[in-house]
Amino acid sequence: MKRALTLLSFGAVLAFASTQLLAAGNAENGKQKAAACFACHGADGNAVDPQYPRLAGQYDMYIQQALHEYKTGQRDNAIMKGFVATLSDQDIQDVAAYFSSLPTKLDTLQGHIQGDK
């Protein structure tokens, strides 16, 4: 019985962890929260300056993961570390939902892959 309980609570923890990881944010809220990001990444997520990555149409989970990595320092970038510092997990889900919902301007990879002619 004790073992079953342990397994059960382990399962609950896993279920909780996965909902945390997979939770989809609210794009409308994300648009408001992303105002500070537009200067570099563009209001439509398509940065005009090539030094800033385009976020439009990127996978939601990828954006969330990247933001968590800037927060923990796993991705070491002084600019982004400052901008994610104040974002809660919910904020990260929401801004990721917003940017991933936008149409990308990359419709072909031609010329974007190293070695392309």
Burial 81-106 (b: 16+ CB within 10 A, else e): eebbeebeeebbbbbbbbbbbbeeee
d(CA 98, CA 72): 22
Whole-number minimum distance, CB 109 to ligand HEC, in Å? 14
Identify the residue among 27, 55, 97, 102 touching ligand HEC (CB under 6 A): 55
Contact between 102 and ligand HEC by CB under 6 A: the answer reads no
Identify the residue among 37, 56, 97, 102 touching ligand HEC (CB under 6 A): 37
Contact between 23 and ligand HEC by CB under 6 A: the answer reads no
d(CA 84, CA 47): 18
Whole-number minimum distance, CB 111 to ligand HEC, in Å? 18
CB atoms within 10 A of CB 3: 7
Instruction: Using CB under 6 A, list all residues that contact ligand HEC.
Output: 34, 36-37, 39-41, 51-53, 55, 63, 66-67, 75, 77, 79-80, 83, 95
